[in-house]
Amino acid sequence: MHMNWLGVVVAIAAGMAIAGVWYGRIFANAWWKLTGVTPERSKAASRQNMAQLLVANTVTAVGLAAVIETAFMATGVHSVWLAVVVGAAAWLAFSATTLLQHNAFELKPARLTVINGAYQLVLFLAMSLPIAAFSSP
């Protein structure tokens, strides 16, 4: 199996950017309110959180690259659309279901589950695009 590492690196960068925009601009106030995390506490933990985010995004990008390449090899189809379908299926099978279970048992607000679940879907789809684009047929 051949994995294009440039696509993985671009996917990681895309993931970091999406997290910054999603939780820093679009949903920051709602997320702080729903989680009870104050902006001050969030900023104080920022360095540790960014390191963890980088590790998580790296693992996600490498995992998606492996699964997308496997799908390309198994089907003989090399397309961005197949990569997007694989990304969506991976999100649904692993990310969305796990988040839903945890938030339900932890009695988290449904709106928080939607915000975080939608973020993860956007993340998986956005990472799938450069992985497919930089992958060679």
d(CA 113, CA 50): 21
User: pLDDT for 25-79, tens place per residue?
Assistant: 899 999 999 999 988 888 888 888 999 999 999 999 999 999 999 999 999 999 9
* Model pLDDT, residue 48: 86
* Model pLDDT, residue 99: 97
The arithmetic mean of pLDDT across residues 2-20, rounded, is: 95
What does pTM read for this prediction?
0.93
Distance of CA 100 to the CA centre of its chain: 15
User: pLDDT for 83-105, tens place per residue?
Assistant: 999 999 999 999 999 999 999 99
8-state DSSP, 76? S
Binned at pLDDT 50, 70 and 90, residue 15 comes out as very high
φ and ψ of 80, to 5 deg: -65, -35
